Amino acid sequence: MKQVLLRQGKAVVEEVPAPLVEAGTVLVKVHHSCISIGTEMSGLKTSGLPLWKRALRQPENVKKVLAMTASLGVSKTCSVIQGRLSGGVATGYSAAGEVVSVGEGVKDIRLGDRVACAGAQCAHHAEIIRVPRNLSVVLPEGLDFAKASTVTLGAIALQGVRRANPLLGENFVVIGLGILGQLTAQFLKTNGCKALGVDINRKRIELALSLGLDNGLHPDEGSCIDQVFRLTDGLGADGVIVAAATPSDDVVSMAFNMCRRKGRVVIVGDVGLNLKRADIYKKELDFFISTSYGPGRYDSSYEEKGNDYPVAYVRWTENRNMLAYLRLLNEGRVKINPLVAATYPISQVEDAYAAAQNEEKPMMVLLSYPQRTSKPLLHRVVANPVASSAKSGRIRLALVGAGGFAKGMHLPNIQSLSDRFHLQAVVSRSGHNAIATAKQFDANYSTTDYQIVLKDPDIDAVIISTRHNLHAEMALAALAAGKHVLLEKPLALTRQGLLEIEEFYSREVFAGRPPILFTGFNRRFSAYARRIKDLVQERSNPMILNYRMNSGFIPQEHWVHSEEGGGRNIGEACHIYDLFTYLTGSKVISVDAVAISPPTKGYYGANDNFIATLAFLDGSIATLTYTALGTKEFPKEQLEVYVDGKVLLMTEYKSLKVFGSKAKGIESKTIDKGQKEELKAFADAILNGGEWPIALWEQIQATEISFHVEQSIMAGKK
C-alpha cells in the first residue's frame, strides 16, 4: 500500500506493508485524509533540519541520546538515530474511509461501515490504516468522505468551545482565524453566541464573516482590546478562545485584557504562556487549557484498550466530540467546503504539501486515494530490491519486533557478524517501520505479518523482540514451524505459557535435532560473568552472591507495568535469576521475597522495590536487591561474590575487581552485557550442532524463580 512519510524536509510516498487488524481495532480503506497545515508543516520543517538545530529546539532529546550512548555506545546510538532520520516519519491524523476488517472485541462497527478516524498514532495518510475503536466513528447517513476526513480538526475546535462553556447570548472573541478559529467561530454561532474574530490576515477575516462571524477585528484598525469593549457595549468579552499559533506571549495577555470581570480564556493554539499576574488577578479570570480532541486523548486505556468513560460522568469524550462534529456537518450547521483549498490525489503529495506551504496559507488541503471496485489487496510484504541474497553457510534470520532495542543492539550486532548471519526479513506491526528497518539493515523484505516468515522456507531462525505478553505464543509458533528461536526475555509471563513450552519439547517427536529455544539472558555471556565463572569454577565451598539493581523509576502508566510487560520482576529481574543459575550451576531449592509498601502506592508498583533470596542445591545463597528508589547518578548494577576467602566485585559490567587473590580482574570503557556474545553462541549452536547456549532447564528455572518472587511479593502486598 502507499503511505506518506516526512523525510529530510520532504513529503514522499512509499510502498509499505499493509497493517494487520488487531483486537479492539478496525482496518480502514482510506478515501480521503486531511493535511493539518499547522502540525504537519511544523513536522515537515523539523524533518529537514540538521541534528544540531533539532537539538537546540528539543534539548530533552539530547538527554535521551546521551543516556542511549552510555548504554549502547557511540556507534550503535548513531545507527539508531540514522535509522530514524533515513526512515522518515509517518504523518497525518485525520481520515475517513470504509471498514475492510474488524478486530476481536469490536461489536458496534461492521465490515463495510463508513467511518471517520483520528489519532496521530494511527490515522495516517495511507491507503490502509489500523485504528482503535475509540478513535473511529461511523458516519451519519449522507455525509461524504471528504467532509468527514476533517473530523480531528473539528473535534479539537469543538473541545475548545466546550472548555469555554459558552451560554446563549454571550459575547466571545476568537483570536486566530486559521482552520481551528474558523470552526470555533461557527460553533459559537451555532451555540447562540455573538462571535468576534481577530486575525492579522484580512482574507481570513473576510472568510469568517462570510461564514457567520459577527465582527472581524484587525490590529491596523486600532487596539483590538478597545474594539472588543466598543462592540460589547463596554462590558468586554464573556470569554476568549485563543486559536492562534505564535511563540509570542502578547496574544494571551491581549486575551485576558479583552475579558470582562469573571470572564474566561481558553487556549487551543500553541502560544507563548509567560503569564502576567496583573492581567488575571484584578478581574479574577478563569484560565483553561483545551487538550486536543477531548477527554480520552493521551490516555492509552481509553485510546488503545478501548475503555470508555461512562457518559454520566464524562459527557463529551474525544469519540463523542468526533461524532457531534460530524452530525453538525451533516446537518449543514457547520460549513467546511469553503475552508478546503484543494484536494490532491496521493500520487501528487508533493504538490499538496507545496500548496500547504505557500504564502496564502490555505486552511485545509485534502488527499484522495484510488478506490478499487474489488476487495482491496492487503499486500503485507515489500521486497528490498537492493538487498543481496544469503551467502552459503549463513543463518537466514527474521527479526520480529523492530523497536529501539532491536535496532540499537541486535541489528548492529547482526551486521558485524555477517560471517554467521544474513538478515532475511524484518517484521513490525507498522509497515513504515518495517520497510525503513529493512532498508537500513539490508533485509531482503519487510512485512507486518508474522505468519509469512513462519511459512518462509528461506528463514532458518527468528529473533523475537516484541512486547513481553507475546513471547511465549510467538516462540511456540516459530518452534512448531521448525525455526530456531532467540527470544528476548522473559520466556513467558504466565505459568501456562511456560508449561506449553515445556510440553512442546516433551511431547514432540522430532525427525532430527529439535529447534533451539534460546531466551536472551545475555548477562551470562558478558566477559564479566564468564570471568567470574572461571574464578569460582574450582571453589570448595558454596557462595554468597549479592546483586543490586538500581533500576530507576518508571511511571505506572508505562507498558512495562501493564499486562503487556508483566512488571519489572518478571520482565527484568529474570536476567539476574538466570545469572545466579549460571554462576552456581545448581538447581534452586527455595525462593523468598519481600517488598516494601511505600505510602506513595500510586507512584511505585508492588514489584518496584523488593529483595529476593534464593537458596541453591549446592548450598549457595543469592540475594537480589531490586529498587526504583535510587538515583541514576549511582551505578545501576553491581554484584558481590563471597567465596573461598575471596571477594569478587563487578560494577556496571565495566569493572571486575578481585580481592583476596592474585587473580586478575577486567575492565572496559563501555558497558558489556553480552548481547553480541549471545548472538555468537546462538550461531555456533545452529551451525555446529553443539549444546544449546542455555539449557532448557536453566531457562525454565530463571522464569519459575520470577513467578515465585512475584507470588511472594503479591502475597505480602498490603
pLDDT along the chain (718 residues), means of 10: 90 94 97 87 65 56 62 64 71 96 96 97 96 98 97 97 97 97 98 97 96 96 96 97 94 97 96 92 96 93 94 96 98 96 94 84 91 72 94 96 93 96 97 95 97 97 97 97 97 96 85 90 98 96 98 92 94 97 98 88 88 98 97 95 97 97 93 96 93 97 98 81
Per-residue CA distances from 121 to 91, 132, 302, 305, 314 (Å): 9, 10, 14, 14, 23
Same domain, 558 and 698: yes
Residue 385 lies in a domain: no
Same domain, 146 and 239: no
Same domain, 318 and 406: no
Look at residues 367, 402, 422 and tell me which one is the last residue of a structural domain: 367
Measured distance CA(462)–CA(128) in Å, rounded? 27
Same domain, 409 and 501: yes
Measured distance CA(548)–CA(555) in Å, rounded? 21
Q: What is the CATH number of the domain that holds 643?
A: 3.30.360.10
Long-range contacts of 649-657 (CB under 8 A, 24+ apart): 650/528, 650/532, 653/523, 653/526, 653/528, 656/528, 656/531, 656/532
Long-range contacts of 304-313 (CB under 8 A, 24+ apart): 304/24, 304/132, 305/24, 306/24, 306/105, 306/106, 306/132, 306/133, 306/134, 308/134
Domain span at residue 533 reads 522-715
Same domain, 611 and 693: yes
CA 618 to chain centre: 45
Measured distance CA(627)–CA(605) in Å, rounded? 11
Same domain, 262 and 318: no
The pLDDT score that the predictor gives to residue 606 is 85
Q: What is the CATH number of the domain that holds 43?
A: 3.90.180.10
Query: If 0-12 CB within 10 Å is exposed, 13-18 middle and 19+ buried, where does residue 261 land?
Result: exposed
The pLDDT score that the predictor gives to residue 600 is 76
* 296, 304 Cβ separation under 8 angstroms: no
Same domain, 93 and 197: no
**Residue 604: closest CA among 562, 547, 554:** 554
Same domain, 62 and 75: yes
* 686, 666 Cβ separation under 8 angstroms: no
Q: Where are the beta strands (DSSP E) in 16-154?
A: 25-36, 89-90, 94-102, 114-118, 128-132, 136-138
Same domain, 143 and 45: yes
The pLDDT score that the predictor gives to residue 513 is 85
Measured distance CA(442)–CA(384) in Å, rounded? 8
Same domain, 526 and 634: yes
- What is the domain count for the chain? 4
Q: What is the CATH number of the domain that holds 273?
A: 3.40.50.720
Same domain, 325 and 422: no
The pLDDT score that the predictor gives to residue 226 is 96
